[in-house]
């Protein structure tokens, strides 16, 4: 297949994501499943789309340094063609710069006009001539320097510089630009780890042990693991190791009653059912019916029948379950700042206001959910974000108003090799640059 076609596909996906707010992972999957691209071309499309999105603030900074036309006067199509071009020039070795310039010019003729194609030609060739000396903004203005160098929005960099040490913030941002590992969770109800590894390796997929969880396997060399027969047979689920640790911290006993108040698409509910040997009852709730359907589909694939889905708003109180659950999981809707390396478009879709509104909802959900926990039962609060106001601050606020709960030492529930300095205090934080997992927060509270 012609490489230029792959790069045009990348530009079209990128335009949809940037200009029309589509989700990059969904658009990439849709396009690649329907196109006749070969494996290597698919990898190139994915790399250009995700790489451009990950590095967009830096790319726009480079463009602004060399463009003689103000950014707001450049049409969206031309801006996106330029962004793809600059990404390939600055970050990819495998495509000659001259080919990138020529193809960007052709795209500009097709999706712009002759005038804009001349502008693209001049601008990109100028960047190619100067690419070794472009550099970054002055390090003296640390927030601006980090924001441009690692392409994170300035408001987020400023926030993290307040919450964490400078070096910690830089390392976190750097690792957000890495391609994350793909991890699967073996379903012990149907198979064992070796059987899955043998099958995957037979398909040319490289496997290695997970870092922390015995049921985890890290896989490389595939973009379509969910199309394999053993996936359809329910032998495994795709899940990051951070998410697996939530169910470990719940530590549900076989035969127990668990209420998962924000459960779709059901990754943790299914994992808890596997840990419970499919015995007991897990009530899995969400406010979206179409998302509950995903849980039912996953459970039926995995051979799980103890998960009962219910459409229910976690902000409401269900009197039928007051004080009866052995465990309640609040895997709260959150700003998702722990997923920036997995979802490259998230960093510029989030706005600072989103964070404040979420923390109120999270607190209210935790308050309602706590009512279902029986004496001695566990209340787990988790998020996939790195924002203290949505994490430990929510737990502290809850404890200040509810002395019937206390934070429980989780040292014996988590793997020995997991760096978790706050485990004794009842919670843990995971960071991509420290743990090589998604960013996560998990706390375990017990009802007195």
Ligand X SMILES: C[S@@+](CC[C@H](N)C(=O)[O-])C[C@H]1O[C@@H](n2cnc3c(N)ncnc32)[C@H](O)[C@@H]1O
Binding site for ligand X (CB under 6 A): 243, 261-268, 285-288, 291, 313-315, 331, 333
Minimum Å gap between C-beta 333 and ligand X is 4
Q: By C-beta, is 88 or 278 nearer to ligand X?
A: 278
DSSP assignment of 85-147: HHHHHHH-SSS-HHHHHHHHHHHHHHHS-HHHHHHHHHHHHHHHHHGGG---S-TTSHHHHHH
Q: Are strands 405-407 and 206-209 parallel, antiparallel or unpaired?
A: unpaired
DSSP assignment of 280-341: SEEEEEES-HHHHHHHHHHHHHHT--SEEEEE--TTS--GGGTT-EEEEEEE-----GGGTT
Comparing C-alpha atoms, which of 59, 131, 65 is closest to residue 93? 131
Output b/e per residue, 186-218; b: 16+ Cβ within 10 A. Answer: bbebbbebeebbebbeeeebebeebbbbebbbb
Hey, which residues does 443 pair with through a beta bridge?
381, 427
Minimum Å gap between C-beta 316 and ligand X is 8
Contact of 195 with 201, CB cutoff 8 Å:
no
Residue 281: burial class (beta carbons within 10 Å; 0-12, 13-18, 19+):
middle
Contact of 287 with 311, CB cutoff 8 Å:
yes
Cis status of the peptide bond prior to 100, with omega within 30 of 0: no
Q: By C-beta, is 262 or 304 nearer to ligand X?
A: 262
Minimum Å gap between C-beta 340 and ligand X is 15
Comparing C-alpha atoms, which of 442, 297, 309, 435 is closest to residue 383? 442
Q: By C-beta, is 116 or 247 nearer to ligand X?
A: 247
Q: Please state, as a whole number, how many other Cβ atoms lie within 10 Å of the Cβ of residue 64.
A: 10
Minimum Å gap between C-beta 382 and ligand X is 8
| Catalytic annotation, pick one of 84, 207, 334, 384 | 384
How far is the C-alpha of 235 from the C-alpha of 233, rounded, in Å? Answer: 6
Minimum Å gap between C-beta 29 and ligand X is 18
- Residues annotated within the binding site for S-adenosyl-L-methionine are 262-268, 286, 313, 331
Residue 384 annotated in active site: yes
CA 417 to centroid of chain Cα atoms: 23
Q: By C-beta, is 234 or 267 nearer to ligand X?
A: 267
- The conformation of residue 71, written as its DSSP 8-state character, comes to G
Minimum Å gap between C-beta 11 and ligand X is 32
Minimum Å gap between C-beta 384 and ligand X is 6
264: Cα within 13 Å, side-chain hemisphere: 18
How far is the C-alpha of 176 from the C-alpha of 157, rounded, in Å? Answer: 12
114's tokens: 């002759």
Q: By C-beta, is 94 or 290 nearer to ligand X?
A: 290
Q: By C-beta, is 286 or 345 nearer to ligand X?
A: 286
Q: By C-beta, is 51 or 338 nearer to ligand X?
A: 338
| Active site positions, annotated | 384
């Amino acid at each position: 297949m012609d490489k230029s076609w792959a790069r045009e596909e990348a530009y079209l996906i990128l335009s949809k994501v940037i200009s029309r707010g589509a989700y990059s992972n969904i658009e990439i999957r849709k396009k690649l499943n329907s196109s006749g691209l070969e494996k290597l071309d698919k990898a190139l499309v994915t790399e250009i789309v995700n790489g451009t999105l990950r590095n967009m603030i830096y790319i726009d900074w480079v463009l602004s340094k060399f463009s003689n036309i103000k950014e707001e006067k450049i049409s969206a199509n031309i801006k996106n063609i330029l962004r793809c071009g600059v990404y390939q020039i600055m970050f990819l070795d495998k495509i000659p710069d001259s080919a990138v310039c020529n193809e960007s010019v052709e795209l500009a003729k097709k999706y712009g006009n002759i005038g804009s194609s001349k502008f693209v030609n001049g601008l990109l060739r100028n960047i190619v001539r100067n690419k070794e000396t472009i550099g970054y903004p002055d390090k003296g203005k640390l927030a601006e320097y980090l924001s441009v160098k690692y392409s994170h929005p300035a408001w987020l960099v400023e926030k993290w510089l307040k919450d964490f040490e400078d070096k910690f913030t830089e390392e976190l941002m750097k690792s957000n630009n890495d391609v994350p590992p793909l991890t699967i969770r073996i379903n012990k109800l149907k198979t064992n780890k070796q059987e899955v590894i043998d099958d995957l390796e037979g398909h040319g997929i490289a496997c290695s042990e997970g870092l922390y969880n015995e049921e985890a396997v890290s896989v490389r060399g595939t973009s379509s693991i969910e199309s394999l027969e053993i996936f359809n047979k329910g032998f495994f689920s795709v899940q990051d190791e951070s998410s697996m640790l939530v169910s470990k911290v719940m530590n549900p006993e076989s035969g127990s009653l668990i209420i998962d108040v924000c459960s779709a698409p059901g990754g943790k509910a299914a994992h808890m059912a596997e840990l419970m040997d499919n015995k007991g009852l897990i009530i899995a709730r969400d406010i979206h019916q179409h998302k509950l359907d995903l849980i039912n589909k996953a459970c039926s694939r995995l051979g799980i029948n103890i998960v009962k889905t219910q459409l229910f708003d976690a902000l409401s109180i269900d009197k039928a379950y007051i004080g009866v659950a052995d465990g309640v999981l609040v895997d709260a809707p959150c700003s998702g700042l722990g997923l920036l390396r997995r979802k490259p478009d998230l960093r510029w879709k989030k706005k600072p206001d989103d964070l404040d509104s979420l923390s109120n909802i999270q607190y209210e959900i935790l308050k309602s959910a706590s009512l279902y926990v029986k004496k001695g039962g566990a209340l787990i609060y988790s998020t996939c974000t790195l924002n203290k106001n949505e994490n430990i601050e929510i737990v502290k606020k809850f404890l200040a108003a509810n002395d019937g709960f206390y934070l429980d030492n989780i040292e014996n529930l988590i793997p020995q090799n997991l760096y978790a300095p706050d485990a004794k205090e009842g919670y843990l934080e995971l960071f991509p640059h420290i743990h090589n997992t998604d960013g996560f927060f998990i706390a375990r509270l017990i009802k007195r």
